[in-house]
Amino acid sequence: MVRFDFDDEVCSNGGNELEVCTVSNSIDSWMHCISYEGQTFKDAVEFRICLKNYAIATRRSFSYKKNDSDKIIVVCSKENCQWRIYASKYKSDNLFGIRKCNLIHSCGDDNLRTRGHPKADSTWVANVVKEKLRGEPSYRPCTMMKDIQRDYGVELDYHKVWAGKEMTMHDIHGTDKGSYDKLRWYCHAVKETNSGSYAECEIDPMTNKFRRLFMCFHACLIGFISGCRPLIFLDGTHIKNKYKGCLLVAVAKDANDDIFTLAYAVVDAENDSNWEWFCYQLKHVLASQYIMVFRNYTFFSDRHPGLIKAIQFVFPGSHHAYCLRHLVDNFVKQVHRIA
């Protein structure tokens, strides 16, 4: 048996100064991310990440004998193997370092025979794909599975990769619940820092939960007034996240026939009440100080019942045209229904 004398002395690499390990996502670097007694890490979390990477690169596995923020002891998953590591926090600088270790497996060359790896969990996946997801949010789990198998030789099931992506997206962008909670602060910040912008956030007084949000930035309003035709296109689309809801938008066409965003709203559902509220907010910004005399506009929509009622009520006298594609789709549906 290998005997470990655990103490609080700082170990070094051959008498040199302490080296802090840096986490790099490549098999070659992972082979050496756990190397010697005295090797140091930023904290216990980084040490655990390096342990997983080292195990995956060497096709071995390990078990924790002790695992907390101050001390970690790991042994080989094979019984009676002498491979083990003892690491703990240095009191002097709060770094986390390997105090004693035996990195030679006495269990022989009994590497893992499976195509997967027990340490390649969703947390590991999150660490591996985090940097790529920062620049490519549309990075799909199916593509992740292929890239991980190619780069690290590990086969994972879809659910594990999907869970890792969700964990990373929450870490980068925060949770949906947390984002909704910050909407009131965001509206206040927009008004304070972007003068002339209009932001309205309604909270249900009974439940104190989010109800709906309207946003029109100053630049969008000025751009519409000065460079767009008096045509406003209104439509809504469903939000496909945990909390559902709908996104209502008002867009225009600029001089280059490109789509120009005027305003948008997030509501709980696409219904008569919300469309009427949206049109009232839109009328408020259009009739603001930037337009001295209110003029009529031509509205385009998909003939949603709530929009038909709201435009007639909020913008009396304005023209209301209908989207040709939706007219054709509705006509075809009616014909099939009759047939």
Q: What is the pLDDT of residues 276-324, one digit of tens each?
A: 999 999 999 988 754 444 567 889 988 888 888 999 899 888 888 887 7
- Position 339 pLDDT exceeds 70: no
Does 284 share its domain with 325? yes
Does 268 share its domain with 255? yes
Mean pLDDT computed over every residue of the chain: 84
Does 191 share its domain with 298? yes
- Of 38, 65, 63, nearest to 51 (Cα)? 63
Query: Would you state the pLDDT for residue 45?
Result: 92
Does 263 share its domain with 197? yes
Q: How far from the centroid of its chain's Cα atoms is residue 301's Cα? A: 32
Question: Token pair 């249900």 is at which residue?
Answer: 204
Query: Would you state the pLDDT for residue 49?
Result: 92
Q: Which long-range contacts (CB under 8 A, 24 or more apart) does 266-272 make?
A: 266/212, 266/213, 266/239, 267/211, 267/212, 267/213, 268/211, 268/212, 268/244, 269/245, 270/236, 270/238, 270/246, 270/304, 270/306, 271/306, 272/305, 272/306, 272/309, 272/310
271 within 8 A of 306, measured Cβ to Cβ: yes
Does 228 share its domain with 331? yes
Does 80 share its domain with 222? no
34 within 8 A of 54, measured Cβ to Cβ: yes
Query: Would you state the pLDDT for residue 7?
Result: 42
Secondary structure of residue 245 in the 3-state scheme: coil
Query: Would you state the pLDDT for residue 230?
Result: 86
Range with the poorest average pLDDT among 89-93, 156-160, 246-250 = 89-93
Does 39 share its domain with 102? yes
- Position 1 pLDDT exceeds 60: no
Does 102 share its domain with 144? no
Return the beta strands (E) in 217-303 as ranges: 231-238, 246-253, 259-267, 298-301
Q: DSSP per residue over 7-58, as a string?
A: --PPP-STTS---B-----SHHHHTTSS-STT-EESSHHHHHHHHHHHHHHH
Does 167 share its domain with 277? no
The residue-averaged pLDDT of 95-116 equals 85
Query: Would you state the pLDDT for residue 23?
Result: 52
- Position 228 pLDDT exceeds 70: yes
The residue-averaged pLDDT of 54-59 equals 90
Domain boundary among 174, 194, 214: 174
Query: Would you state the pLDDT for residue 110?
Result: 65
Secondary structure of residue 236 in the 3-state scheme: strand
The residue-averaged pLDDT of 264-283 equals 93
Torsion angles phi and psi, residue 2, rounded to 5: -90, 130
Does 126 share its domain with 110? no
Query: Would you state the pLDDT for residue 9?
Result: 38
Q: pLDDT tens for residues 143-152?
A: 999 999 998 8
Query: Would you state the pLDDT for residue 292?
Result: 41
Distance CA 134, CA 65 (A): 35
How many domains does the structure of the chain reveal? 3
Query: Would you state the pLDDT for residue 62?
Result: 93
Query: Would you state the pLDDT for residue 281?
Result: 94
Residue 178, CB half-sphere, CA atoms under 13 Å: how many?
A: 7
- Position 197 pLDDT exceeds 60: yes
- Position 31 pLDDT exceeds 80: yes
Query: Would you state the pLDDT for residue 11?
Result: 40
Domain boundary among 114, 139, 160: 114
Does 311 share its domain with 248? yes
Domain boundary among 114, 137, 155: 114
Give the range of the structural domain holding residue 96, as residue numbers without chain letter.
1-114
Query: Would you state the pLDDT for residue 337?
Result: 63
Does 204 share its domain with 244? yes
The residue-averaged pLDDT of 183-211 equals 89
- What residues have CB less than 8 Å from 260, skipping those under 6 apart? 220, 223, 224, 227, 228, 251, 252, 253, 254
Query: Would you state the pLDDT for residue 24?
Result: 62
- Position 17 pLDDT exceeds 50: no
